Amino acid sequence: MAGLPYIVGNWKMNGTRAMLNEARAIDRAAARFPKVQVALAPPSTLLYRMRDTVELIGVGGQDCHAKDNGAYTGEVCAGMLKDAGADFTIVGHSERREYQSETDAEVKAKAEAALSAGLSVILCVGETEAQRDAGDAEGVVTAQVEGSCPSTEGAPERLSIAYEPVWAIGTGRVPSVDDVAAMHKAIRAKLVAIYGDAGSDVRILYGGSVKAENAAELLAVPEVGGALVGGASLTAESFLAIVGAAASLAEVG
Ligand code: PEP
């Protein structure tokens, strides 16, 4: 797998201008961790200001519409994210798959729109607890990868997959390192089946209750190329502890 470890904070529907102080602190500290790629995905209302506030870290959206423009009240398209200074966008987060009933086909269309607009993409997949208990986790997740991955020319170069078990998001529960390793291996095999050799270079992040206490263990798992972090990305202190864990592993790796 190519590239630096990628640690991305997803602020979800949290943050007003006052929280840009956290982004500023994260950006300043990022200079101490040149072997880690750091990024934040704030709510779209903060994107433009965050872009102006930070210098070193990436800034991205949490979702985009699949169309370029039009009568879609309340929506934001990929070109608008790019115009506001985004480098990337998340698509297919399980909260959108659940609350907005987003399908794999819609997620794929969003990923393709984002790539066409010049953004990189973090595409989320993950099984529910019932699916894992039924022994279907790998089947569900690899089917999501198959159905959601963009077909755009050159897609693997700007694509990351975030494996986020739905039952681990915001719960404090995490899968065993063996389960994370098995799932990342299955995702890798599917990416190579889709993209050929280029599928080997797509970064696969782990997400779901990553914190300072478990980051080193999770980031050391084979095929884990970084982390998508929700709750622990909301303060510089908790997020930088995860970035620091990634940096320590990158030093020895
Ligand atoms: C997320 O929702 O992408 C996430 C990983 O959340 P948390 O870290 O809070 O589990």
Does the CB atom of residue 166 touch ligand 1 within 6 A? no
Smallest CA-to-CA distance from 200 within 159, 151, 253 is with 159
Mutate to test the pocket of ligand 1, among 7, 10, 218 (most ligand atoms within 8 A of CB): 10
Reduced to 3 states (helix: H, G, I; strand: E, B; else coil), residue 10 is strand
pLDDT tens string, the chain, 253 residues long: the values are 568 999 999 999 999 999 999 999 999 999 999 999 999 999 999 999 999 999 999 999 999 999 999 999 999 999 999 999 999 999 999 999 999 999 999 999 999 999 999 999 999 999 999 999 999 999 999 999 999 999 999 999 999 999 999 999 999 999 999 999 999 999 999 999 999 999 999 999 999 999 999 999 999 999 999 999 999 999 999 999 999 999 999 887 6
21 CA from centroid of ligand 1 (Å): 21
**Domain ranges in the chain?**
6-252
Supply the residues annotated as catalytic. Answer: 93, 164
CATH number of 6-252: 3.20.20.70
Mutate to test the pocket of ligand 1, among 164, 174, 205, 234 (most ligand atoms within 8 A of CB): 164
131 CA from centroid of ligand 1 (Å): 19
94 CA from centroid of ligand 1 (Å): 10
Does the CB atom of residue 79 touch ligand 1 within 6 A? no
Write out the two tokens for 116. Answer: 């066409």
DSSP 193-247: HHHGGGGGGSEEEEESS--HHHHHHHHTSTT--EEEESGGGSSHHHHHHHHHHHH
